[in-house]
Structure 1
């Protein structure tokens, strides 16, 4: 089974945790890091510790912003760990991946999930132009 690490700035990871638990409270392979909220915790060390723990398993790190410091720390560890990093996540993507029942998630599955999540980001007002809003 793949292990997932959701790492975000501030407490966004907790929001993902609550949402995942809402849909399936039995998931045990998802781990959360709220980066830079506790001066006593070093984010890079916390991430490295989780990667060490799951060294023999597939690990997929999900981060909030492609250019952000959380993602940069994850990218620094790619060379030392066999992990995959997906950044710019949204709830649709997270649920698609963490609820996948495959023992190992392929790159193609990840790419498809990313494409599907990207397509779910829409400006609803544009969709409604010309339509009767009462419908």
Structure 2
């Protein structure tokens, strides 16, 4: 299984940079970002990346549900439900945890784990009620 991080400009590359610093480089993780070159350019670049994954499974992590990267990724999930999953709300703990599971975990288990991590990593250390 492969991991693709698809976000608006700056986020995916930042997540991969932080991942690589903390856990080391992982060739099974790729990224694509929507930039000011526009949606058409993003769609073309996205299609090129997905060509590489034709023979395998890919978990796509996006930043905003219903944002452009998410909607384009969702199209691929609908066309290839047997080998593509899309999870929105990507964060660094999600990327770190999933990067260690890419070889052994199933696509559905990885998608479920991404959701679990995303939910569990949101916390407030000290909350003062007014």
TM-score in same-fold range (> 0.5): yes
Q: Alignment length, in residue pairs?
A: 127
Root-mean-square deviation over aligned CA pairs: 2.2
Task: Note closer, same or farther for the CA distance 1:38–1:28 as it changes in structure 2 (3 Å cut).
Answer: same
- 1:67 deviates by 2.2
The answer to whether structure 1 residue 110 and structure 2 residue 106 are counterparts is: no
- Which ranges of structure 2 fall in alignment gaps of 5 or more residues? none
Per-residue CA deviation, residues 86-112 of structure 1 (Å, 9 max, x unaligned), is 111111111111221534424134313
Task: Report if the CA contact (8 A) 1:48-1:77 is conserved.
Answer: no
Which structure would you say has the larger Rg? 1
| 1:89 counterpart residue number | 90
| 1:100 counterpart residue number | 101
TM-score in terms of structure 1 length: 0.81
Q: After TM superposition, where is structure 1 displaced by more than 4 Å over at least 4 residues in a row?
A: none
- Which ranges of structure 1 fall in alignment gaps of 5 or more residues? 131-135
- 1:75 deviates by 0.8
The answer to whether structure 1 residue 119 and structure 2 residue 117 are counterparts is: no
| 1:38 counterpart residue number | 37
Task: Note closer, same or farther for the CA distance 1:70–1:5 as it changes in structure 2 (3 Å cut).
Answer: same
| Equivalent residue runs for 1:1-135 within 5 Å | 2-38=1-37, 42-81=41-80, 82-126=83-127, 129=128
Q: Distance in 2 between matches of 1:20 and 1:52?
A: 25
Per-residue CA deviation, residues 32-85 of structure 1 (Å, 9 max, x unaligned), is 112124359711111111111111111111100112111011111222233111
Task: Note closer, same or farther for the CA distance 1:49–1:72 as it changes in structure 2 (3 Å cut).
Answer: same
- With 104-113 and 7-16 compared, the bigger mean Cα shift is at 104-113
